[in-house]
Amino acid sequence: MAKVTIDGITIEVADGTTILNAARAIGKEVAPPTMCYYSKLKTSGGYCRTCLVEVSKGSEKDPRPMPKLVASCRTTVMDGMEVKNTTSPKVLEARKGVVEFLLANHPLDCPICDQAGECHLQDLSYEHGSAKTRYEFERRTFDKINIGEKIQLHMTRCILCYRCVKTAEQITDGRVHGVLNRGDVSEISTYIEQAIDNDFSGNVIDVCPVGALTDKTFRFKSRVWYTKPMDAHRNCENEKCSGKVVLWYKGEEVLRVTGRKDQWGEVEEFICNTCRFDKKKTSDWTIEGPREIDHSSVISANHYARTLVKPNEFKLNEVNPITE
Amino acid sequence: MGKKLLTEHINVPGIQGYEVYRKMGGYASVEKAIKSMKPEDVVEEVKKSGLRGRGGAGFPTGMKWSFLAKPEGVPRYLVCNADESEPGTFKDRYLMSRLPHLLIEGMITSSFALGANTSYIYVRGEYYYIIAILEKAIAEAYAAGWLGKNILGSGYDLDLYVQPGGGAYICGEETALLESLEGKRGNPRIKPPFPAIAGLYGCPTVVNNVETIAAVVPIVNQGGDAYAAVGIGKSTGTKLISASGHINKPGIYEIEMGITVEDFIYSDEYCGGILNGKKLKAVIAGGSSVPILPTDLILKTAAGEPRIMSYEGLADGGFAAGTMLGSGGFIVMDESVSIPKNLWNLIRFYHHESCGQCSPCREGTGWMEKILHKIVDGHGTLKDIDLLWELQAKIEGNTICPLGDAAAWPVASAIRHFRTEFEEYVKHGDKIKDVKYYFHTHNMDPAAAYSSL
Ligand SMILES: Cc1cc2nc3c(=O)[nH]c(=O)nc-3n(C[C@H](O)[C@H](O)[C@H](O)COP(=O)(O)O)c2cc1C
Ligand code: SF4
Ligand code: FES
């Protein structure tokens, strides 16, 4: 076991735990934002650099601070380590930089993007970015490629988190896409416009933090915040599929089916393409009840029973921007 | 004349071939190591020698070697980094093409020290003719019994392979090199784990520069202490400097660390002064990634002492007033050089070579290049200069591999020491727009350009 202190809060975790997971174990207040790490995917993380933290004390044995900020998702804790996340001005500055870099070439086409409302880049920019960009050059574009019937690729929105590549590698039984080219012209591609199509390929939609991979069967049907999520399950024939999903309703109609995402925006269990794309009738499912969205996105603004702020923590001027 | 530890025999006719190399004392270090030393003893000598990595970072080689994990039943590898792609650096090419057997001898002695039975030399693809030279030398070494099974009857086996790279600067970064060597896309790995624990094919691996490995030969021959007696302070031994730019005698010089920069630039033994009697303007002392320094700071430290050619000497003053020895790519610029244009050229390179995995480097290098292009084309504003400064600061230290730093440092140092020149471009933007073509074809100072209008 290792004792680690993050933003002044101490917790004991198993050896080999990453700083990020130790922070998540403490809670949302100290957990760094993540754009590429995904706890369900091996070797994920390290790319986006939004989770950078300052290690102000290396360990009990070697108390020297680490010379550079480190990616909390890929750095393991040491006994006696002290970490600064939101309490480090250096971290906040660097993170602001990362947001600016991620947005530099992003098309900001949120008004026509299906991901808007549940987009991690939107949340990240809102929480850590600045309102204005200083990038004044033409934004990067890519030739459109068709990757099949069910999944829509918008390469301009991609932040190269590598999650979809790792999903295809680890969850599906054959990866047919990857990253082509180098540097800022790197792109997600199938190289020869091959369709990404196998039992579990739809999961790349759920893991994508932005609107680069979206569900073609849901395309332009509704803004997500006008839909109502319901937990549901079915006895799926595919033994690798849990059959536990969220149905997104508009009126009586199921517009889309996704995996169930936890408070970190990660799916709890991966689901098969049949559940995702082909079962869009209420009669296909056993409904469990309304889905609680425990994420500070606009979706939760409209409906939900459980709010983010517990009553005893309620502070009027913090949650009510209108008074400002 | 300074002491030559690596290139003493480089001009001997026929030294490229095995016979002459052997006659001049070649392969003595292998004999000595295998016949009379234990692998740990060789590591100990390298530690004593104080040798530091010649690839750029200057990490103590003996220490790196002692970090190598040695789990039972798992192979270990030695990989020689001959990717040499840092602009301004061309010493490994010289060494490999003229003295191929020196590298091979160093590889055998070092592999023995590390207990590696398979070793690789990863050569940049553009050095295709060197690959042929090395392969010929390796074949000669096999034929003479220095490679293969049971070397010198000791029971020690070693196979040595040459692997050409595909032509990417990033494949010089050691973990990207290992990925590429494994046949994958040359992306730097996210560390930890470090190669000493999990390197090539997941096995413990040491990656060393060509010059580092070559230096093991004199270290084993003469002993670590004798090697450490050459040089100055913690910068022991000799260093190959690739001298280029506006000097009378560009080329590769093996210097004893400790000579002054002034001596190196102006004496006839080395660079022989500035071309056409012009004035020195700036030097990039250690390959394109290290901070550029103006004349006053490269010849003298901030404290007014003569600046010394050594790891510590060049670093004196930190980044505010110093630079780094880096890979020894010494680029000299006379008064006609435009610093902003030169910087644009460098950043265009880093932008092109960024692997694209991490956001600060992927987006930041391209952004900086665009701003620099805008400035040198006469469309820049003062705000652009500040923005450049902020962007480099947000890249530095925040990336997966040091390519981000390598792109940030030249920007930071050029603005730190030559800010007025950037401001000139902004102020005289209109005029520059008129002489655009002129500017693009000549590396010219804006002031000179206006006067020629
Ligand atoms: C972008 C980048 C490019 C590099 N290119 C080279 C190279 O071409 N040759 C080299 O020896 N080291 C290069 N390095 C340094 C290597 O990563 C590594 O530190 C070195 O090979 C270690 O050898 P040494 O300890 O003998 O110096 C590069 C590093 C980076 C970050
Ligand atoms: S710093 Fe640049 S080259 Fe290095 S990993 Fe990041 S994107 Fe790739
Ligand atoms: S989440 Fe850690 S680097 Fe992206």
User: Around Cβ B215, how many Cβ atoms within 10 Å?
Assistant: 30
CB of A48 closer than 6 A to ligand 3?
Answer: yes
pLDDT (tens digit per residue) in A118-157: 999 999 999 998 888 899 999 999 988 888 889 999 999 9
Nearest to B352 among A75, A93, A183 (CB): A183
Query: Can you give the pLDDT at residue B437?
Result: 41
**Nearest-CA neighbor of B147 among B37, B139, B16?**
B139
Using the beta-carbon criterion (under 8 Å), do B398 and A134 form an inter-chain contact? no
Residues on chain A touching B356 (C-beta within 8 angstroms): 160, 179, 181-186
B10 in a domain, yes or no? no
B13 in a domain, yes or no? no
pLDDT (tens digit per residue) in B331-382: 999 999 999 999 999 999 999 999 999 999 999 999 999 999 999 988 999 9
Last residue of a domain, one of B334, B362, B397: B334
Nearest to B360 among A97, A137, A179 (CB): A97
**B187 and B265 co-located in one domain:** no
d(CA A102, CA A125): 9
B168 in a domain, yes or no? yes
Rg of chain A taking only CA atoms, in angstroms: 20
B4 in a domain, yes or no? no
Structure tokens given for A84: 């600064």
**Considering chain A, what percentage of its residues have pLDDT values greater than 90?**
78
Per DSSP, the three-state class of A179 is: strand
Structure tokens given for B309: 């050619």
Query: Can you give the pLDDT at residue A298?
Result: 65
List Cα–Cα distances, B169 to A28, B80, B91, in angstroms. Answer: 40, 15, 16
Using the beta-carbon criterion (under 8 Å), do A160 and B356 form an inter-chain contact? yes
Q: What domains sit in chain A, N to C, each tagged with a CATH number?
A: 2-89 (3.10.20.740), 105-302 (3.30.70.20)
Using the beta-carbon criterion (under 8 Å), do A97 and B397 form an inter-chain contact? no
pLDDT (tens digit per residue) in B197-252: 999 999 999 999 999 999 999 999 999 999 999 999 999 999 999 999 999 999 99
d(CA A34, CA A159): 12
Residues on chain B touching A181 (C-beta within 8 angstroms): 356
Query: Can you give the pLDDT at residue A322?
Result: 36
Kindly state whether A91 is in contact with chain B, defined as any CB-CB distance less than 8 angstroms. Answer: no
**B176 and B308 co-located in one domain:** no
Q: What is the pTM of this model?
A: 0.92
B165 in a domain, yes or no? yes
**B59 and B153 co-located in one domain:** yes
Q: Point out the least confidently predicted range of A11-20, B119-128, B355-364, B370-379.
A: B370-379
B274 in a domain, yes or no? yes
Query: Can you give the pLDDT at residue A309?
Result: 45
Give the alpha-carbon dihedral of A97, A100, A101, A105, to 10 degrees.
-170
Query: Can you give the pLDDT at residue A305?
Result: 47
pLDDT (tens digit per residue) in B306-327: 999 999 999 999 999 999 999 9
**B106 and B224 co-located in one domain:** yes
The CATH number of residue B147's host domain is 3.40.50.11540
User: B149: burial class by Cβ within 10 Å (0-12, 13-18, 19+)?
Assistant: exposed
**B78 and B111 co-located in one domain:** yes
- Domain span at residue B37 reads 18-229
**B245 and B284 co-located in one domain:** yes
Query: Can you give the pLDDT at residue A146?
Result: 87
Using the beta-carbon criterion (under 8 Å), do A183 and B362 form an inter-chain contact? yes
Q: What is the ipTM score, two decimals?
A: 0.91
List Cα–Cα distances, B76 to B13, B112, B113, B156, B202, in angstroms. Answer: 37, 11, 11, 14, 10
pLDDT (tens digit per residue) in B381-394: 999 999 999 999 99
B138 in a domain, yes or no? yes
Helix H or strand E segment including A136: none
**B246 and B298 co-located in one domain:** yes
pLDDT of A49 strictly over 60 = yes
Overall domain count for chain B:
3
Per DSSP, the three-state class of A317 is: helix
The CATH number of residue B324's host domain is 3.10.20.600
**B346 and B308 co-located in one domain:** no
Last residue of a domain, one of B214, B229, B244: B229
**B294 and B318 co-located in one domain:** yes
Last residue of a domain, one of B334, B369, B400: B334
Kindly state whether A66 is in contact with chain B, defined as any CB-CB distance less than 8 angstroms. Answer: no
**B289 and B204 co-located in one domain:** no
Query: Can you give the pLDDT at residue A295?
Result: 54
Amino acid at site A232: A
Residues on chain B touching A49 (C-beta within 8 angstroms): 358-360, 398-400
Using the beta-carbon criterion (under 8 Å), do B360 and A98 form an inter-chain contact? yes
**Nearest-CA neighbor of A162 among A179, A182, A181?**
A179
**B41 and B107 co-located in one domain:** yes
B5 in a domain, yes or no? no
**B309 and B398 co-located in one domain:** no
